[in-house]
A = this chain, B = another copy of it.
């Protein structure tokens, strides 16, 4: 998929997902005077788009995806990640144990469904670390904060690594060649 499309996909998911977090009060922006786009500070969707592009580039250098994907596969992957993003906006009143196990199990299923290789696991794990650490930096800078019921992981939400894990897993496989037909998304070798 072209890099611009990958960036725009990340931009759109970041924008819509962040809108759910702000609407639910899970997160809030704290700097005055920053222009907003939907519910986000203007810089947020650009950063997410670039981060998704970075994960996709990392995947491409690792020869991902291991099998060709179709445009429709990418639509499903993006929709599932956005659904998980929105789901996290509904978890403010849940204990961390519940939200982390729920989002973690979904994230593992997304990785295993999308492209279960050690290399995509590496990209997903990298995203699960770097993403929350970067958000801790944002929180420390005073630009934004998580609600007091959702900030137990160094100022960010405890389920945040799970969301980045799922997003990183899917992103790692979107820069390879896409095939036009669904049939071609299957392994090229078949048994029997």
Contacts and interface: CB of A to CB of B under 8 A. Distances in A.
B24 A94 contact: yes
A61 interface: no
A158 to B, nearest CB: 12
Nearest to A106: B83
Contacts of A190: 183, 186, 190, 192
A79 interface: yes
Interface residues on A, range: 35 or more
A109 B83 contact: yes
Contacts of A97: 19-20, 22-24, 39
A24 B87 contact: no
Contacts of A102: 20, 83, 86-87, 89-90
A31 B24 CA distance: 35
A95 interface: yes
Interface in A13-41: 16-17, 19-20, 22-24, 39
A50 interface: no
B105 A98 contact: no
A42 interface: no
Interface of A: 16-17, 19-20, 22-24, 39, 72, 75-76, 79-80, 82-83, 85-87, 89-91, 94-98, 101-102, 105-106, 108-109, 112-113, 116, 181-184, 186-192
6 contacts: A17-B101, A20-B101, A23-B97, A79-B105, A82-B105, A89-B98
